[in-house]
Amino acid sequence: MKQVITSERIPIKLWLEDLDEAALNQAKNLANLPFAHKHIAIMPDSHVGYGMPIGSILATKKTVVPNAVGVDIGCGMCALRTEIRELESKDLKEIFSKARKRIPLGFNWHEESQDINLMPKGHEELPIVKNQFAKALKQVGSLGGGNHFIELQKGSDGYVWVMVHSGSRNLGYTVAKHYNETAIKLNELYHSVVNKEIDLAFLPIETPEAKHYIAEMNYCIEFAFANRKLMMKRMIESMTEVKGSFETGELINKPHNFAAWENHYGENVLVHRKGATRAFKDEPGMIPGSQGTHSYIVRGLGNAKSFMSCAHGAGREMGRRQAQRELDLEKEKARLDEKGIVHAIRHTRDLDEAPGAYKDINEVMANQKDLAEIVVQLKPLGVLKG
């Protein structure tokens, strides 16, 4: 931990020294919520978000805050070790070419509904999910855009790894939007002391609306996992066509946009992680860098001060539009080409996901040595993006 701010109702504990002003103001808003528990934890990859900084943890008493989970409910990552030792450039290009035919990217969906058995059970009892279910059947196994990716990596353990970063697509967005709007209306109705302008409308946990949100949120978390699992399966199929059959290790899955009941400092609280990874003692996880930088398989250290959490990635240094305006396309491409990485930077519009748009992953990892320890370092070989 790098610093503690004690000027608000409860402390703010930060694992970085250079949090931007907008994100710091959001952290102060969290610290002044009347139902916030013990302190606010700010991870080393943190930056401004919507209502709550990306890369932060809020524990609450008897309250759920939809915006503290975010619009991409259940967004997270999967990682899988293969027994493959080497992939040449031509192998990478062929694998990604085959994967593009199996996995819709960006705004694209499957033309046909996927197998209903891939989906989590119980959608019939969830009004928003039920309404979106037909669309979700065509979206499962699709990547989406933004910072979502599929990356092939060479591990310091000598093996090739596959990492997938994606979320709950339109399903999670629709659920989040509905319940945040519901929370806003209820907060206005009951003259909540939480200012509407800070975008942290809440639902008291005993209300039907809160119970419905938590049920639908949990479905979206499961759907996001199903989405990643199917993409991982289809990546392995693409790799098998190029390299022949091979064995794999156990799949590691970690969401980083969710809320869950946990016990911290002797109380049962609802822990909201927005762009933060759970890191219980000895729990496996992963922390990706940007395109062109190392990623990591990690083991949690169970640090109570961070509500047993760690960073979820490198974290943005520049906003998307700022990166598109200010970064040099040829220089960013050269950074990746020089390393032999099969990458996704083609046009100025792609610069929002260039390495220069992100924080230094080495600094992020150094700032959280008390939160997670490195198990395997992963060098990027090639990346598939929306």
Q: What is the CATH number of the domain that holds 28?
A: 3.90.1860.10
What is the arithmetic mean of pLDDT over 44-71? 97
Model confidence at 127, pLDDT cuts 50, 70, 90, reads very high
Give the pLDDT of residue 334: 87
What is the arithmetic mean of pLDDT over 182-209? 96
Give the pLDDT of residue 317: 84
**pLDDT above 80 (res 344):** no
Residue pair 71/147 in contact by the 8 Å Cβ criterion = no
Percent share of the chain, pLDDT over 90: 87
Domain annotation covers residue 338? no
Neighbour-count burial for 342-380, b at 16+ CB within 10 Å, e otherwise: bbbbeeeebbbbbbbbbbebebbbebbeebbbeebebeb
Domain annotation covers residue 165? yes
Give the pLDDT of residue 242: 97
Domain annotation covers residue 133? yes
What is the arithmetic mean of pLDDT over 49-73? 97
- List active site positions: 312
What is the arithmetic mean of pLDDT over 191-201? 95
Domain annotation covers residue 342? no
Domain annotation covers residue 326? no
Side by side, the strands of the sheet bearing 160-166 are: 252-255, 76-81, 160-166, 149-155, 372-385, 295-300, 284-287
Lowest mean pLDDT among 155-159, 319-323, 367-371: 319-323
Model confidence at 357, pLDDT cuts 50, 70, 90, reads confident
What is the arithmetic mean of pLDDT over 51-55? 97
Give the pLDDT of residue 17: 92
Question: Tokens 């064995």 sit at which residue?
Answer: 247
Give the pLDDT of residue 61: 97
Containing domain of residue 263, as a range?
Answer: 3-317+358-385
Beta strands in 32-167 (DSSP E): 40-47, 54-60, 63-64, 76-81, 149-155, 160-166
Q: Per residue, what are the HEC states of 114-130?
A: CCHHHCCCCHHHCHHHH
Domain annotation covers residue 228? yes
What is the arithmetic mean of pLDDT over 248-260? 98
Whole-angstrom distance, CA of residue 367 vs CA of residue 355: 19
Give the pLDDT of residue 350: 86
Give the pLDDT of residue 318: 81
pLDDT tens for each residue of 8-35: 999 999 999 989 999 999 999 999 999 9
pLDDT tens for each residue of 301-333: 999 999 999 999 998 888 888 989 988 888 888
Give the pLDDT of residue 340: 81
Mean pLDDT of the chain: 95
pLDDT tens for each residue of 87-119: 999 999 999 999 999 999 999 999 999 999 999
Domain annotation covers residue 328? no
For 73, the 3-state DSSP assignment is coil
Per the structure, the count of domains in the chain is: 1
What is the arithmetic mean of pLDDT over 55-75? 98
**Phi, psi angles (nearest 5°) of residue 182:** -65, -45
Whole-angstrom distance, CA of residue 43 vs CA of residue 306: 8
Percent share of the chain, pLDDT over 70: 100
**pLDDT above 90 (res 354):** no
Domain annotation covers residue 337? no
Higher pLDDT, 340 or 259: 259
Model confidence at 358, pLDDT cuts 50, 70, 90, reads confident
Ranges of H-type helices in 190-314: 208-243
